[in-house]
Amino acid sequence: MTYAVNIALLLLLVLTAASATFLVRELMSSVFILGSYSFFLALVWAWLGAVDVAFVEAVIGAGLATVLFLITLFDTAPKDSRLRRPPPPLAGVVGLPLLGILLLFAANDLSPFGDPTSPANVHISPVYLQQSYADTLTPNVVTSVLMDYRGFDTLIETVVIFTAGIACALLLKEPGS
């Protein structure tokens, strides 16, 4: 009983933070509410058992993204007097919840959470889970999938991050500084 109440409370917090991010007038408050939204979402990931994803969501969503937004706001604030943004358009306020309801309706067709016979759980996951230790001699299956079975994948992801950093420095840094 308390478990269900906790989950309902958590989802309510996520929904409240998400809608408040869009509805609040001041951009500074919006940034902080977005950070708290990421933190609640991290709790949801942890509840689903995806601790790695929860880690990343908490650090990047609540930490790094907030800092990036804040630095951008600090930089643009003296030049832009319109720190208060206009109210959201009616089409967004009405249309986005309708889209959400449509998505929830479509989510009925997904297989239930943790279903062992769902397509995602019968394709190749059992092979990884059963043969991971014999193949890679690494106790953590997540690590062996990430760094060993799909090492190329991780390598290319690292290249993508490297490229993103170079591109940001090229675009944002002023010449001569």
Residues that bind another protein (CB under 8 A): 51-52, 55-56, 59-60, 63-64, 67-68, 71-72, 74-75, 78-79, 136-140, 142-143, 146-148, 151-152, 154-155, 158-159, 161-162, 164-166, 168-169, 172-174, 177
Nearer to another protein, 83 or 155 (CB): 155
Nearer to another protein, 86 or 139 (CB): 139
Kindly state the smallest distance separating residue 137's Cβ from another protein, in Å.
4
Rounded CA gap, 175 and 177, in Å?
6
Kindly state the smallest distance separating residue 113's Cβ from another protein, in Å.
19
Nearer to another protein, 22 or 55 (CB): 55
Structure tokens at 67: 């800092």
Nearer to another protein, 22 or 74 (CB): 74
Kindly state the smallest distance separating residue 64's Cβ from another protein, in Å.
6
Counting every residue written for the chain, the total comes to: 177
Closest to 40 in 3D by CA, of 71, 8, 3: 8
Closest to 99 in 3D by CA, of 109, 89, 107: 107
Kindly state the smallest distance separating residue 81's Cβ from another protein, in Å.
14
Burial (0-12, 13-18, 19+ Cβ within 10 Å), 149: middle
Yes or no: say if 57 and 45 are a contact pair by the CB < 8 Å rule: yes
